[in-house]
Chain A
Amino acid sequence: MANQEIKATERFNWPVTILLLLGLFTVLFPLYMTVIIAFKQPSEMTNSVIGLLSFPKEWSLDNFREAMRVTDFWRSLFNSFLITGITMVISIIVHSLMGYAVARNMGTSKFYRFSYFYIVSGMFVPFAILMMPLVKQTAQLHIDNMFGVIILYVVFYMPMNVLLYAGYLKNIPIALEEAAHVDGASTWTTYWKIIFPLMWPMHATVAVLTALGTWNDVMTPLVIMSGSGMTTLPLAQLTFQTQFGTNYNLAFASYLLALLPMLIFYIVAQKQIINGVINGAVK
């Protein structure tokens, strides 16, 4: 480990670093616009290029404060955290298991091959066609609440995540499990002891993609939970857009606030992706 660290600091690839820093313009410019709009007042909005790119008259946090008040920020944030967090954990457990079952049997069993294509094809169902029947179904089952939303997310993200896990497992040699089997461990134990930890980089990837999708989603909570009195951050943010007017300044402030937790989560998660134990383990 110490040896590796020395190697990492030894020589940086500066040309690539510089190119990446230059390319950052494509992200920083829109981000700059977002930030200055979030600080401006509606009366500072213009249609001229210079006017829009100029700094706000004053750097006041009023927009952020107002956006937090309007969206009932802490409560909405808590609900969003809850839904996203639970969905993420269940997805990692359930989808990795399914991915494992499929990946290890697809070559030999028609049933698993079919299951794989059956689940993956579920990804292509337009949500609009499912929406009305799902509203009815969740109401009949009395899960027209947060619980129902989480179940739906677990189902919605299953195709993508099974595809990801199954693909990842192709690169994990089966020999590892067979060795454990010879030692008398059950399949279930082998999975949790050996395979699950090996997939850590993929868990982090799945966590980021699933969390991101649920974090920003408006439609599902809107149609499933409306009337339960619970609100999520994206639902609360709908307030900024009315039929004949949008308060971009408050909206942008609110979007920046909602962006931060995801960004932090991503940075933490991607460390997991890089520090994945696979290299060491496969060796």
Chain B
Amino acid sequence: MKSQNERARTFLMIAVPILLLFFAFNTLPLIKGFMYSFTNFRGYGTKFDWVGWRNYIDLFTDSRVGNSYWFTFKLALVATILINILSLIMALALNAKIRFKSFLRGMYFIPNILGALVVGYIFSYIFTYILPAITSTASMLANKNLAWIAIVIVCAWQSIAMNTLIYISGLQTVPEDVYEAASLDGATGWNRFRYITFPLIMPFFTINMVLCMKNNLMVFDQIMALTKGGPAQSTESISFLIYNNGMGGGQFGFQSANAVIFFIVIVIISVLQLKYLNKKEEQL
């Protein structure tokens, strides 16, 4: 009993200061931002008016905001699925008994380190000049029905490395003897993955789904680098509007309201995702 108390006390002494720190530099500014969402504040200066719920009412009648939600969710869903499938395959391959392991792992990590300016320039060039020259079609970036696919490709190219890394570290928790036992039972290939490896790395699948969904829902850099929201405003993501119009423009109050709603939406999605996947983990 005494040791139970000691354990509980230790955990509290760890958790409380960290929670306080987190509150001070994440929740507190969020609350302040939430207050600005009821104003027409431009982000600096002292002059602003309280406008009540106007920003929120505007939000639901603004077709630009509506389009940005549609675009962002479409992109996030497709990119998340694509990235997770590809990075799981990459992780399995890079974790296999391959030659040049360190070299290959290093090379495949490079896309994640290259800055947005480089990625933007290179891929603009590929989409504008190289691909049309090969396929003799017009640039994807100029087509408002295809530009989002170009962004999915670049998002995937850049973030597969990170998700692969997480899967690789997950694969390290699978003890070698599990495989040995499995191969004795004759489980190989797909079956071994489906019934042995995957259930064991399920917690990492959960993490990757959540992180990936979050990164893709907050897509910003790739859009600034490739399309700047065009063509014909077809690739304006929610973060693009929040950042450009809130920080760059004079809509700080309105975009704060947008950010608050966006935050609530992603939290709901992610908590549902976590709960569902955690339940799956327990079932396995």
A–B contact at 8 Å CB threshold (below): yes
Decide yes or no whether A120 CB sits under 8 A from chain B. yes
Decide yes or no whether A123 CB sits under 8 A from chain B. yes
Interface of B is mostly: helix
The CA-CA distance from A151 to B18 in the complex, in Å, is 12
Q: By the criterion CB–CB under 8 Å, are A14 and B133 in contact?
A: no
**Could you list some 21 contacts between A and B, CB below 8 A?**
A16-B96, A17-B99, A19-B93, A24-B104, A27-B110, A28-B107, A30-B126, A97-B18, A122-B26, A129-B255, A130-B29, A151-B21, A160-B211, A167-B203, A201-B173, A212-B113, A258-B115, A270-B102, A270-B105, A271-B102, A273-B168
Decide yes or no whether A142 CB sits under 8 A from chain B. no
Q: By the criterion CB–CB under 8 Å, are B113 and A164 in contact?
A: no
Q: Chain B: interface residue count, which band? A: 35 or more
Decide yes or no whether A83 CB sits under 8 A from chain B. no
Report B13-40 residues with CB < 8 Å from chain A CB.
Answer: 14-15, 18-19, 21-22, 25-30, 32-33, 36
Residue among A163, A209, A255, A259 making CB contact with B165, cutoff 8 Å: A209
Q: How far is the CB of B118 from chain A (nearest CB, A)?
A: 5
Report A61-78 residues with CB < 8 Å from chain B CB.
Answer: none
The CA-CA distance from A205 to B260 in the complex, in Å, is 31
The CA-CA distance from A209 to B107 in the complex, in Å, is 16
Report B80-117 residues with CB < 8 Å from chain A CB.
Answer: 93-94, 96-102, 104-115, 117
Q: How far is the CB of A241 from chain B (nearest CB, A)?
A: 7
**Given A97-B18, A115-B15, A155-B21, also A278-B26 (CB < 8 A):** no
Q: Mark A114-137, 1 if CB is under 8 A from B, else 0.
A: 010111111111101111111001
The CA-CA distance from A118 to B94 in the complex, in Å, is 34
Residue of B with least CB distance to A238: B117
Q: By the criterion CB–CB under 8 Å, are A251 and B117 in contact?
A: yes
Decide yes or no whether A60 CB sits under 8 A from chain B. no
Which residues of B have CB within 8 Å of A163? 207, 210-211
Q: By the criterion CB–CB under 8 Å, are A248 and B113 in contact?
A: no
The CA-CA distance from A202 to B130 in the complex, in Å, is 40
Report B155-178 residues with CB < 8 Å from chain A CB.
Answer: 157, 162, 165-166, 168-170, 172-173, 175-177
Decide yes or no whether A86 CB sits under 8 A from chain B. no
Residue among B94, B113, B170, B214 making CB contact with A262, cutoff 8 Å: B113
Q: Mark B125-147, 1 if CB is under 8 A from A, else 0.
A: 11001100100000000000000
Which residues of B have CB within 8 Å of A202? 169
Residue of B with least CB distance to A198: B173
Decide yes or no whether B270 CB sits under 8 A from chain A. yes
Q: By the criterion CB–CB under 8 Å, are B118 and A276 in contact?
A: no
Decide yes or no whether A252 CB sits under 8 A from chain B. yes
The CA-CA distance from A205 to B168 in the complex, in Å, is 9
Query: Interface-forming stretch among B3-11, B55-63, B185-193?
Result: B3-11
Residue of B with least CB distance to A12: B99
Residue of B with least CB distance to A52: B125
Q: By the criterion CB–CB under 8 Å, are A21 and B30 in contact?
A: no
Decide yes or no whether B198 CB sits under 8 A from chain A. no
**Given A20-B98, A129-B256, A163-B210, also A97-B14 (CB < 8 A):** yes
Decide yes or no whether A13 CB sits under 8 A from chain B. yes
Residue of B with least CB distance to A30: B122
